Amino acid sequence: MISNREVILRIILSTIIGGLIGMEREANNRPAGLRTHVLVSIGSTLIMLISMYGFYDLESGMRTGDPARLAAQVVSGIGFLGAGTIIRTGSHIKGLTTAASLWVCAGIGLAIGNGYYLGGLLTTAIVLLTLARLSSFEKKVFKTKYRTLEIAAIDRTGLIGEIGILLGRYDIDIIDISILSTADNGSGETILTSCIKIKLPIDINLDVFFQEIYKINGILETMFIEEN
């Protein structure tokens, strides 16, 4: 049987690891943050401990159950939790990275609960490196594909829809849309400034695209803005 000290060590280590991954997600305002990752990690560790040491026959000292059964349920069950973080808007899917981080966090918790510290700690380091650094690396490598388009236009019914149709015609994927500001132009009309994050196809002719977007009624100004 495992000692009480070892049980405490594994649960505390699991808490720290889940917290580190959760802090990164929390800092990026993701739907599953610090508390969720900590709970997933601790829960997975506890289930692994129960799987390994909760079914011992005290007289014979032999295990009376299969330790893999409960652990297997964690791997499949975490999918339901991860699904709650995934949001689909048109062709854009958001939250997959957070869902994956929850899944791997459960795996790390199982590893720590099993006493496989090297695998758990090494995986944690790789996960943190992936979440914290690969995002900026992707932006540098694929900076010609992902751009942010700022549009100022006279607000009217159907404006955003027409812009979306034009973007779709040029096979431009919409990643996110946000309203930066609204202002009165003094003539009773509202000037709407919106910010659209898009993914451009490699072969797009931007000159032709901008000519087309200015044909939309009410468009005043469009430009790509730089992101740090």
Residue closest to 130 by CA, chosen among 104, 106, 112 = 104
d(CA 60, CA 122): 36
DSSP-assigned beta bridge partners for residue 74: none
In a 3-state reduction of DSSP, which class is residue 1? coil
How would DSSP label each residue in 134-183?
A: HHHHHHHHTTTTEEEEEEEEE--TTHHHHHHHHHHHTTPEEEEEEEEEEE
Q: What is the residue type of 83?
A: A
Superfamily of structural domain 146-225: ACT domain (3.30.70.260)
Provide the residue-wise pLDDT of the chain in tens; the chain has 228 residues. Answer: 678 899 999 999 999 999 999 898 888 777 678 898 999 999 999 988 888 876 665 455 566 566 677 778 887 888 777 777 777 654 456 788 888 899 999 999 999 998 999 999 999 999 999 888 887 777 666 655 778 899 999 999 899 899 999 999 998 988 888 888 888 877 888 999 999 989 888 788 888 999 999 999 999 999 887 554
Query: Whole-model pTM?
Result: 0.60
- pLDDT tens digits, one per residue of 16-40: 999 999 898 888 777 678 898 999 9
Q: Locate the domains of the chain by residue range.
A: 4-138, 146-225
